[in-house]
Chains A and B, each alone.
Chain A
Amino acid sequence: MEVTAGWYMLLAAGLFAIGAVGLLVRRNALVMFMSIELMLNAVNLTFVAAGRELGLLQGQLAVLFVMVVAAAEVTVGLAIIVAVFRYRSSADVDDLAELKG
């Protein structure tokens, strides 16, 4: 049985869905952030699988740029989480309700 690109797409869909559920269910800001990273990884897998199927290198270059943007996002996001933690002493996003009307 041959492993086609569809299998990778299915696996990436599963990982993306799990990441989305984690983002919706969990309240710890760090775990939510890691769920976002999981979703980015799932999308990267679809890029690489599609690039192999089509014989194009552009998919892998897109993955490279996604990784760079994700790295920048992680550094800034974690700095924001640390700043919020110093202000609120909590990593729970439900505690951040200052804008609640």
Chain B
Amino acid sequence: MNAELVVFVIFAIAALAGALVLVMARNPVYSAMGLLMTMFSMAVFYILNEAPFIAAVQVLIYAGAVMTLFLFVIMFIGVDKSFDPKETIPFQRPIAIVLGVGLFILLALAAQGVWVTGQSVFAGEALGTIENVSDQLFGTWLLPFEATVLLLTIAAVGTVALARFEISDPRPVVEVSLVSADEPDDVESVADEATDSAASADDAPSAGEES
């Protein structure tokens, strides 16, 4: 029974469990956590398959940036069902403390020796080291790489444009002051309603002051 088989079985179970949590969880935050577990398992598989650079990019881009963006939007939009603050796992806090102390002891023991990273699974040099990948990326695939720069720029600009896109509001606040000041005759019906509402809004507090 070799080491790769053990690692594969453990993280295959973790990846499939994370994927099932993603599909089945009712709360979108739990779905994001399941996807996060699957993505970390993917990074382990990449290391097993002689792709350490891709594994690092996986953790940084997917597990880091993309999932942070997902969680941000989930929190921004809001979870549909009301979140129950009651602790669902009994004895969660003591178990967490025990696990934290155990982790510290394990890390302290690991710092004593030189076997921190463990034994390498594959023999010889890995296929996808940073040197090999960069040789290919900045040599043969330079033009596609430059194209991805363009793609990311377009995506960033598009995201900003979408975020700043104003939904046609029937109450344009800025135009009210411009139109109602000088030219009350040729205003559109939309702006007319807006001036009416603005005027009534102006009247209400003044009337309150007088009475």
Contact = CB atoms under 8 A, between A and B. Distances in A.
A18 to B, nearest CB: 4
B132 A57 contact: yes
Interface in B127-151: 127-128, 132-133, 136-137, 141, 144, 148, 151
Contacts, number: 174
B155 interface: yes
Contact of B162 (A41, A73, A83, A91): A83
Contacts of A18: 16, 19-20, 22-23
B70 A30 contact: yes
A35 B61 CA distance: 17
Contact of A48 (B22, B51, B151, B162): B51
What size tier do the contact residues of chain B reach? 35 or more
Contact of A61 (B1, B70, B137): B137
B167 A87 contact: yes
A49 B49 contact: yes
A15 B19 contact: yes
Nearest to B53: A60
A44 to B, nearest CB: 7
Contacts of B77: 30, 81-82, 85, 91
The list of the 6 closest CB pairs from A to B, nearest first, reads A72-B155, A22-B23, A79-B162, A18-B19, A79-B159, A68-B148
Given A26-B23, A41-B62, A52-B49, 11 more contacts: A1-B1, A18-B16, A30-B28, A37-B66, A51-B128, A61-B137, A68-B148, A68-B151, A71-B66, A79-B158, A87-B167
Interface of A: 1-3, 7-8, 11, 14-15, 18-19, 21-22, 25-26, 28, 30-31, 33-35, 37-38, 41, 44-45, 48-49, 51-52, 55, 57-58, 60-61, 63-65, 67-76, 78-83, 85-87, 91-92
8 contacts: A11-B12, A14-B19, A19-B23, A25-B23, A61-B133, A67-B61, A76-B155, A91-B77
